[in-house]
């Protein structure tokens, strides 16, 4: 009944209605018949609600088209979706995050192919709904074979404006401030098992709803990049390293150190330039070799 009351309050008139309301909360099972029915009706009447689903993966042995077997760590076991009446009342999308091997979030998967068709990610669904509502074009960045791409964080931890849901329900916040906005509803307190390590800030964790906000903003501003080809960058680095060696082999230590600094500065500058144009390179190998 509480999320139902929130949707009803925010969508009570055209002066308060947000462009999108997105719940980064799992409403999977039936709990309270009256409250569940009220929430489903509120979402259906509002027509602007995105709901969270969860894809459960498993490891399986699959085959390529040529018959070669491989271990698939991203085989879909099941998809947990909102309870039936709620699923019919709004759009749902998977809220899974993509974590690198070191546990940090740098990438996002925009959609996934399921047995029932393509399912959008939570952030991508919100972005598409907002663009459609405001008559704007939907632009999809270049993706890898897993429909993933690296994104640039726009905000640090707690940079996005956060408002207590209870303050809204109790009338302490004028609902008109949400008009035409994207409203994300999610866990925003320690211990609620929805915080992650992020590349933008070491040593602190960012709540999942903030991660989604960053991905949505990246989609709006085109802040994405793909790793540059490893063979090409390897050849370029090798050529630079050979030239560097030929240059310093008869120079004294001072000139050699200055030359190394110039090489590192040049690589960092090239990395920034490439990143601004949608590509990333690893910055560690060339300085180590030199």
What whole-number percentage of the chain has pLDDT above 70? Answer: 100
pLDDT (average), residues 128-138 = 95
286: nearest Cα among 246, 247, 233, 250: 233
Identify the pLDDT of residue 179: 95
Q: Output 229 or 161, whichever has higher pLDDT.
A: 161
Identify the pLDDT of residue 122: 97
Q: Specify the DSSP class assigned to residue 175.
A: G
Strands (E) located in 6-145: 20-24, 49-63, 69-80, 91-94, 104-105, 107-109, 111-114, 117-120
What whole-number percentage of the chain has pLDDT above 90? Answer: 59
Mean pLDDT score of the chain, rounded to an integer?
Answer: 90
If phi > 0 it is left, if psi is from -120 to 50 it is alpha, else beta; for residue 95 that is: alpha
Identify the pLDDT of residue 190: 79
pLDDT (average), residues 224-236 = 83
The pTM is what? 0.82
Residue 160 CB-density burial (10 A; 0-12 exposed, 13-18 middle, 19+ buried): middle
Lowest mean pLDDT among 25-34, 96-105, 112-121, 194-203: 194-203
For 160-180, write each residue's pLDDT tens digit.
889 999 999 999 999 999 999
């Amino acid at each position: 009944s509480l999320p139902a009351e929130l949707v009803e309050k925010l969508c009570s008139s055209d002066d308060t209605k947000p462009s999108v309301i997105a719940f980064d909360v799992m409403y999977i099972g039936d709990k309270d018949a009256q409250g569940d029915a009220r929430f489903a009706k509120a979402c259906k009447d509002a027509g602007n609600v995105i709901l969270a689903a969860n894809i459960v993966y498993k490891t399986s042995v699959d085959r390529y088209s040529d018959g070669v077997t491989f271990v698939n760590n991203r085989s879909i076991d099941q998809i947990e979706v909102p309870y039936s009446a709620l699923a019919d009342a709004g759009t749902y999308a998977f809220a899974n995050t993509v974590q690198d091997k070191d546990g940090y979030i740098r990438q996002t998967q925009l959609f996934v192919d399921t047995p029932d068709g393509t399912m959008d990610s939570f952030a991508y669904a919100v972005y598409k709904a907002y663009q459609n509502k405001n008559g704007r074009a939907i632009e999809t960045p270049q993706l890898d074979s897993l429909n993933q791409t690296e994104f640039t964080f726009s905000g640090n931890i707690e940079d996005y404006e956060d408002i207590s849901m209870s303050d809204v329900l109790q009338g302490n916040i004028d609902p008109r401030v949400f008009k035409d906005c994207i409203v994300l509803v999610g866990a925003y307190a320690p211990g609620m098992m929805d915080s992650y390590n992020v590349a933008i800030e070491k040593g602190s964790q960012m709540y999942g709803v903030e991660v989604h906000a960053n991905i949505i903003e990246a989609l709006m501003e085109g802040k994405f990049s793909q790793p540059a080809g490893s063979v090409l960058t390897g050849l370029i680095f090798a050529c630079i390293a050979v030239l560097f060696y030929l240059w310093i082999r008869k120079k004294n230590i001072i000139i050699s150190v200055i030359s190394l600094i110039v090489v590192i500065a040049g690589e960092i500058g090239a990395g920034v330039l490439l990143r601004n144009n949608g590509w990333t390179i690893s910055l560690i190998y060339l300085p180590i070799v030199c």
